Structure 1
Amino acid sequence: MTETKDDNDLLDRAIDWVALLRSGRATVGDAERLQRWRALSPAHEAAFRQAARIYRDLGVMGTELERRKVRPFVARRVVTRRALIGGALAASVAGYMVVKPPLELWPSLAEMSADYRTAKGEQLDVALTDNVSLKLNTQTSVAVRGSGINPRIELISGEAAISSRRLVSEPLVVIAADGQIASSAGEVNVRCIDGVVLAVCIQGSITVSHGGRSVELTSGQQIAYSASEPLGKPVPVADPDMLAAWRDKLLVFKDEPLAAVVSEINRYRPGKIVVTSTELGRRLVNGTFHIDKLDDFVAQVRQLYAVKVRALPGGLVLLS
């Protein structure tokens, strides 16, 4: 397909948006204006995705530009705008750079460039192919590499239950942080939050690879890894019902510190709750909460622990 000057102008503007997000000066208003700009037309959205992906691939520019067949003049433009896009290729996670907005008040650049993304409290079912399906939990971003019957899935952030019915010789590959999970026939639950990955084999078997090691898991086993923690040994899933609860729109906590519970609640509830007291954050929580009724959570905590609650603009709630 022949590219026009309008296409190039849109890509230029999209790169400017990426540069603003990377600069650290972006505000909530800027994020809202960007969303409106992306919604102007399919071409605007496509330009933003291309700009975001070029930015993410800067760390491996040579091989990626060749593989993606990005035009040479686009590569030169990206190089000349390195100062705008952030200069050095630091802050890289698994070869990709992720911009974290303050207090997570809007999605990161990598999340906004995803092929599928859920907002807070939202879940999404995706039939990727005839033999691959995904259920995305709240605040989950997924990119799909390749096309047709042999896709590769990148879990940028969040949590997904992934089912596959593939030939053993052609397993489905899920990339998460700096590792990957391969599954031929079965179901896997993968969670990737702040670069920490937890892979759970629900049915069948999976192979998890990270840091030069590969470990096979069977049904009912889980394993974790991160950039700072090597791949360990598979361990049994302590409570399968708790693992599957999110798919029934439930959050179940058993003897979890309040700080950890609030961190998880924040992934589903609009705004952000902050526990300002370390001692309060250590208090243990037992309970089941419905995802669609999390507005009651703050009131319940206030009643249970007699805490002080301070509501601030922007949906920020302080517990002390």
Structure 2
Amino acid sequence: MVDGQDPDREDELFTEANRWFFRLQADDVTPDEKQQFSDWLNADTAHVSAWNGVHALMGSLRAPAQASYDERLEGKRWLSRRRPSMHDVRPAPAEWMAPRVLAVCLAAVLGLAAYVQGPILLDRWTADHVTVAGHRETLSLADGTHVELDADTAIKTDMTAGERRVTVLRGEAFFQIADDPRPFVVTTRDGEARDIGTAFSITRRDSRSIATVETGIVDVKAASGSGSTVRLRAGEAVDYDRGGVSTPRKANLDQELAWRRGRIIFRQERLSDVVAKLNRYRSGRIVIVNPWVGDELVSGTFDIDRPGAPIDALEAVLDVRATYLTPYLVMLR
């Protein structure tokens, strides 16, 4: 315990540090949140101590992670304002953490896990067709439409006498539409894409949707109903959310639909975004331990069925190291 610190305050700080630790690993963490974390860490040496305590809870990862943490802080001022020296506040030994603190940390971890996983489980529960991380699937709908599901995808279907409707709850699905007089509509929380004789994909991740057209024409409309319908032609894509639809852009079909050929292609993308995509194709998880690592830019082409290859490549070309805690959990630092 830090001398003179109130035990309740100690619990509160550990809860905050736990929340920050797991939030910084999230796929949708924003630059503003990273800055808020920097401000929080910089505000008080007690915050630094609590943050170090969280790393101590990582068990076998504690020593290498802290060594990397200290080394990078020594060589690079990644906080925007003056901060306490990490050498003035040492990581807390295991004995420092009383059972009540461990209980608070465990509760924070479980609560956050439930918060993150809850929507995923709900999507899968309500879906008609589901793929999990590391698995893809091809299926045919009742009308003969050919559908390819990327990893970690959930869809539900509703075929009526007047309309064919598919809802992409999460993930990405590629549709090759069967000839049928009934309209074919693909919806997400963000809007709908109406087929006009085509082959296209719909992606729903990170609080937005993407429509990418390989052949034919697709009309896209936001869920809010505001704004006009945007028409896409072969080789075009748009991003859309409930508020509106972006201007059509030229799509790199070879890269954006590479998953259909069992490949993943990155072109100067942030490592945090790369890891989020790689996690969809693993029976496990890659976690970035040090927040600044996520801003490194990555390019490469990898086979989906060789999940270890991207990690080996990242170690070879970037200043990162991979620690395998189990075959299913890899820490990048």
Same fold (TM over 0.5): yes
Aligned pair partner of 2:174 in 140, 161, 177: 161
Q: Which runs of 5+ in 2 are unaligned?
A: 1-111
Aligned pair partner of 1:218 in 209, 222, 233: 233
For residues 293 and 264 of structure 1, what CA distance do their matches in structure 2 show? 14
**1:109-124 correspondence to structure 2 within 5 Å:** 109-124=122-137
> What corresponds to 2:101 in structure 1?
none
For residues 149 and 125 of structure 1, what CA distance do their matches in structure 2 show? 25
User: Normalization by structure 1: what TM-score?
Assistant: 0.62
Q: Is the 8 A contact 1:105 1:271 kept in 2?
A: no
Per-residue deviation, residues 160-199 of structure 1 (Å, max 9, x unmatched): 11111445x6320111123111003111111101331000
**1:228-243 correspondence to structure 2 within 5 Å:** 230-237=244-251, 239-243=252-256
Amino acid at match of 1:258: L
Amino acid at match of 1:231: V
> What corresponds to 2:82 in structure 1?
none
Aligned residues: 219
Percent of pairs with identical residues: 26
Q: Is the 8 A contact 1:101 1:107 kept in 2?
A: no
Indicate how the Cα distance of structure 1 residues 201 and 106 shifts in structure 2: closer, same or farther if over 3 A, else same: closer
Q: Is the 8 A contact 1:162 1:189 kept in 2?
A: yes
**1:126-137 correspondence to structure 2 within 5 Å:** 126-137=139-150
Following superposition, the deviation at residue 100 of structure 1 comes to 7.7
Q: Which runs of 5+ in 1 are unaligned?
A: 1-98
> What corresponds to 2:201 in structure 1?
189
Give RMSD over aligned pairs.
Answer: 2.5
Amino acid at match of 2:241: S
> What corresponds to 1:296 in structure 2?
309
For residues 233 and 157 of structure 1, what CA distance do their matches in structure 2 show? 23
For residues 100 and 225 of structure 1, what CA distance do their matches in structure 2 show? 28
Query: Alignment partner of 2:172: what SS?
Result: strand
Following superposition, the deviation at residue 107 of structure 1 comes to 4.5
For residues 189 and 116 of structure 2, what CA distance do their matches in structure 1 show? 21
Q: Is the 8 A contact 1:103 1:272 kept in 2?
A: no
Q: Is the 8 A contact 1:122 1:137 kept in 2?
A: yes
**1:25-174 correspondence to structure 2 within 5 Å:** 101=114, 104=117, 107-147=120-160, 150-166=163-179, 170-174=182-186
Following superposition, the deviation at residue 104 of structure 1 comes to 4.7
Query: Alignment partner of 1:197: what SS?
Result: strand
Q: Is the 8 A contact 2:221 2:244 kept in 1?
A: no
Following superposition, the deviation at residue 250 of structure 1 comes to 0.2
Larger radius of gyration: 2
